[in-house]
Structure 1
Amino acid sequence: MTQGLSRPGYKAFVDGAPEIYAGLSALTRAVDASGLEKGLTELVKLRVSQINACAFCLKFHLGLARKSGVPQDKLDLLPAWADAGIFSEREQAALAYAEALTLLDGDSASDELWEGLRSQFSEEEAVHLTVTIAAINAWNRIGIGLRFAPPA
């Protein structure tokens, strides 16, 4: 078995690819500025990061979710959100959409899923939610690919 080469850590990534970091960060700032609830977007980021098993993003977004006032019960039950009985219809629609766009298959963006999302979100909000899901999936793939250590 060969020894693997070391990979750049988070700081090395930020320092070595500042334009990429700035671009991904700009997506987050744009969603935050849109008025979409921070607690909701953090739940979505956490669920996507759970699916993708990105330890760095999980640790990072757990802290932000707590600062945003997401109740601990929701953080504890997020992996089983569909059966937990504590998530609002709006949160459930967002989480279902996030899972579908993360676990892409032939029918991920079905009309039924979009209709369910739109029953809870305006078109503008749905666009911002879509960007949130795309951005966290990108961050997860970067964090996993470069094996970022979870923040202290």
Structure 2
Amino acid sequence: MQPRLNFYKASQEAYNAVKNLENYVQGCGLEPRHIHLIKLRASIINHCAYCIDMHVKESRHDGLSEQWINLMSAWEESPIYDDKERALLTWVDAVTRVADTHVPDSAYETLKAHFTEEDMVKITVAIGVINIWNRLCVGFRAMHPIDQPAKAA
């Protein structure tokens, strides 16, 4: 697979607009663990290898367990996620797949049971931002860095 274009170079103005929204999300007061969950889950849904690679590494760096990270793609089948995380995952799935789900009332009610209205708006903005990044990276075939292979012991 080859990159199609460098979206940063093609339109720094557009990139900076998305980056400003990203900066808002990072500083809006949401728990870092929840931001990692949003970014990783949406990137998995959108098959964005660039973003999955980045957000797995960031999650590890911030101390989230390998199991928590690795089971994200099958979260419904794992008890590792608490009720609040499960509500958030349900919302991420519904909002990211909006064309298919139409974001059902059940997803909203589940989220509302665990978060304030203000937080629900911030969460939804965070989902929107990672979906923008995913669309830029997948659409223009951004390539994640290739790590050095582990050497045999």
Q: TM-score, normalised by structure 1?
A: 0.87
**RMSD in angstroms over aligned alpha carbons?**
1.9
Residues of 2 paired with 1:61 and 1:106: CA distance? 25
Offset at residue 94 of structure 1 (A) = 0.8
Q: Which amino acid aligns with 1:7?
A: R
Q: Which amino acid aligns with 2:48?
A: C
Q: Does 1:14 align with 2:8?
A: yes
Residues of 2 paired with 1:108 and 1:6: CA distance? 32
Q: Does 1:26 align with 2:23?
A: no
1:89 alignment partner in structure 2: 83
SS of 1:86's partner is coil
Residues of 2 paired with 1:25 and 1:31: CA distance? 10
Q: Does 1:100 align with 2:94?
A: yes
Q: Percent identity?
A: 34
Offset at residue 46 of structure 1 (A) = 0.9
Offset at residue 139 of structure 1 (A) = 1.1
Residue 124 of structure 1, aligned match among 105, 113, 118: 118
Residues of 1 paired with 2:3 and 2:135: CA distance? 17
1:63 alignment partner in structure 2: 57
Residues of 1 paired with 2:108 and 2:37: CA distance? 19
Offset at residue 110 of structure 1 (A) = 2.2
Offset at residue 27 of structure 1 (A) = 1.5
Residues of 1 paired with 2:52 and 2:61: CA distance? 14
Offset at residue 126 of structure 1 (A) = 0.7
Structure 2 counterparts to residues 29-68 of structure 1, below 5 A: 29-68=23-62
Structure 1 segments (4+ residues) deviating >3 Å = none
1:39–1:69 contact (8 Å) kept in structure 2: no
Tell which deviates more after alignment, 119-128 or 106-115.
106-115
Where structure 2 has 5 or more consecutive residues not aligned to the other structure, the ranges are 147-153
Deviations 1:93-117 (A, max 9, x none): 1111010111224653222211110
Where structure 1 has 5 or more consecutive residues not aligned to the other structure, the ranges are none
Q: TM-score, normalised by structure 2?
A: 0.87
Aligned residues: 146
1:72 alignment partner in structure 2: 66
1:118–1:126 contact (8 Å) kept in structure 2: yes
Residues of 2 paired with 1:69 and 1:19: CA distance? 34
Tell which deviates more after alignment, 16-25 or 87-96.
16-25
